[in-house]
């Protein structure tokens, strides 16, 4: 039974390890921020959908322009007389008496087939509608650009999130290694009888707490990587390794901030889409006004017709061509005020849109100011936290040496380790806050060149 139980445990453990074994069996892809953005812009479903939407709008444009060409159709007709018409002829015709009824004068069967065509010559509403297609294409392109900006922002922040998780993991890992080494020294001293059992137990508990922090930090790293995979469109079971650290971005932060032009919002994608929609609404008003104008259309029809009675072979029927061409004019006169009321509704919507745009611009300006304030505060925190981390590292080293020579207590070591963890996490978080605020600011300003710049680098 014991052997059977051990086998079950072994099999269960192997089954649980299969996903991890399969994951490690695949090649691990090493990515930098430019590489992650490049993959995202080529493989992300969001970008693929926006690109297809541009193609769809182009087809819609061609569909509307097709209305300028003739509309040609072919067809055929057949009718069967259930009860034939009768015709009463005048007295003088054929020398027959007045009121004579000639049955079967109209044949039982009637055939016809041919082609017909129509072409708009003057159609103000159609012409105004065709001009709208240009605005539709502009809106589709701007919407695609908005999707790319959002994706660049999300991927960039997800990449920074991985670096934050990795740097936090390194802080916890270093603290754990120091705690393990201190516990080993205390254990040796306890065996030699120079320290109490209580101090050894406290050191052992400290090790286990530090190990728990390391495991939690490692889980955070894995989840951050999975999130980045989802954003860039990678397979979840493909290995991914992000190199670098947040400190690598610290050296260029002042130059990056000075390179950002915060004086204008003309490249903001939300404002641009809003302006295009406003133009579309104005153009809709033009289309509505164009409905007041007359329209002129040309038509042409060419058919072959034949009629005959039942029992007569179809090959004996006589077929006669019939053709016609003409022009039709439609002049709108009165529709109960429908057009007028529609125009008034559109004009009110245009006025509302102006107020909404002013509100949107103020909101964007507020967000820009908020991002700049966050960047400024983050840079101040970086400078302070960097010095705090340096001092915390020095305090850890001093407390360990003081404890080794017997002039310090283990509580001093614990306090210094806690201060080191706090300083390390604060330093990493301040850099992440700066990078995150900077990425949000670039998105607000519509700086799609920021993502392209990173791609080139």
Domain edge (last residue) among 331, 356, 390: 331
Mark whether 448 and 312 lie in a shared domain.
no
Would you state the pLDDT for residue 426?
93
DSSP string, 392-411: HHHHHHHHHHHHHTTSS-HH
Mean pLDDT, residues 352-370:
90
**pLDDT at position 400 over 90:** no
Residue 10 lies in a domain: no
* Residue-number span of the structural domain to which 170 is assigned: 29-68+123-293+335-456
Rounded CA-CA distance 357/145 in Å is: 20
Q: In 412-442, which positions are buried (b, 16+ CB within 10 angstroms) versus exposed (e)?
A: bbbebbebbbebbbbbbbbbbbbbbbbbbbb
Is 445 contained in some domain? Answer: yes
pLDDT band for position 437 (50/70/90)? very high
CATH number of the domain encompassing residue 195: 1.20.1600.10
Same domain, 360 and 437: yes
Phi, psi of 176 (to 5 degrees): -65, -40
Kindly state whether residues 318 and 340 are assigned to the same domain.
Answer: no
Quick check: 202 and 186 in contact, CB under 8 A? no
Same domain, 303 and 318: yes
Tell whether 15 is covered by a domain: no
Whether 102 shows a pLDDT value over 80: the answer reads no
Length of the chain: 457
Higher pLDDT pick, 313 / 177: 177
Same domain, 155 and 229: yes
> How do residues 275-330 score in pLDDT, each as one tens digit?
999 998 888 888 888 888 888 888 899 998 888 777 777 677 788 888 889 888 88
Q: 455 pLDDT band (50/70/90 cuts)?
A: very low
Domain boundary among 331, 356, 381: 331
Q: Which SS3 state, helix, strand or coil, does residue 41 take?
A: helix
Q: What is the pLDDT of residues 220-247, one digit of tens each?
A: 999 999 999 998 888 888 888 888 889 8
Using only the alpha carbons of the chain, give its radius of gyration: 41
- Mean pLDDT throughout 412-441? 91
Separation CA 272–CA 275 (nearest Å):
5
Tell me: do 136 and 159 sit in the same domain. Answer: yes
DSSP code at position 246: G
């Amino acid at each position: 039974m014991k052997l059977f139980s051990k086998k079950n445990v072994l099999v269960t453990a192997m089954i649980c390890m299969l996903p991890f074994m399969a994951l490690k069996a695949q090649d691990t892809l090493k990515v930098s921020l430019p590489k992650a953005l490049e993959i995202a812009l080529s493989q992300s479903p969001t970008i693929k959908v926006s690109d297809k939407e541009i193609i769809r709008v182009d087809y819609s444009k061609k569909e509307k322009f097709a209305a300028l060409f003739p509309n040609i159709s072919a067809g055929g007709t057949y009718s069967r007389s259930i009860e034939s018409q009768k015709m009463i002829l005048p007295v003088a015709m054929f020398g027959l008496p007045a009121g004579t009824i000639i049955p079967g004068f109209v044949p039982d069967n009637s055939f016809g087939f041919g082609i017909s065509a129509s072409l708009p010559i003057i159609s103000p509403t159609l012409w105004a509608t065709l001009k709208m297609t240009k605005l539709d294409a502009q809106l589709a392109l701007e919407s695609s650009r908005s999707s790319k900006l959002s994706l660049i922002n999300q991927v960039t922040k997800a990449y920074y999130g991985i670096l934050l998780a990795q740097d936090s993991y390194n802080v916890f890992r270093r603290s754990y290694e120091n705690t393990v080494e201190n516990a080993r020294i205390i254990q040796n001293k306890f065996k030699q009888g120079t320290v109490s059992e209580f101090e050894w137990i406290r050191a052992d508990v400290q090790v286990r707490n530090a190990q728990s922090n390391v495991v939690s930090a490692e889980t955070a790293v894995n989840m951050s990587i999975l999130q980045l995979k989802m954003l860039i469109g990678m397979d979840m079971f493909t290995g991914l390794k992000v190199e670098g650290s947040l400190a690598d971005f610290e050296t260029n932060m002042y130059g990056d901030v000075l390179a950002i032009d915060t004086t204008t919002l003309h490249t903001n994608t939300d404002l641009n889409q809003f302006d295009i929609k406003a133009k579309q609404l104005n153009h809709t008003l033009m289309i509505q006004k164009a409905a007041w104008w007359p329209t002129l259309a040309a038509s042409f029809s060419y058919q072959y017709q034949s009629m005959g009675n039942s029992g007569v072979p179809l090959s004996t029927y006589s077929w006669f061509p019939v053709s016609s061409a003409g022009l039709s004019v439609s002049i709108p006169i009165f529709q109960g005020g429908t057009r007028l009321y529609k125009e008034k509704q559109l004009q009110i919507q245009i006025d509302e849109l102006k107020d909404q745009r002013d509100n949107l611009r103020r909101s964007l300006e507020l967000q820009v100011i908020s991002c700049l304030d966050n960047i400024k505060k983050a840079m101040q925190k970086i400078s302070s936290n960097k010095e705090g981390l340096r001092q915390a590292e020095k305090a850890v080293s001093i407390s360990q040496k003081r404890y080794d020579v017997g002039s310090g207590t283990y509580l001093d070591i614990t306090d210094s380790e806690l201060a080191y963890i706090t300083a390390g996490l604060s330093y990493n978080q301040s850099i992440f806050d700066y990078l995150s605020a900077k990425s949000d600011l670039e998105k607000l300003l519509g700086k799609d060149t920021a993502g392209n710049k990173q791609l080139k680098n």
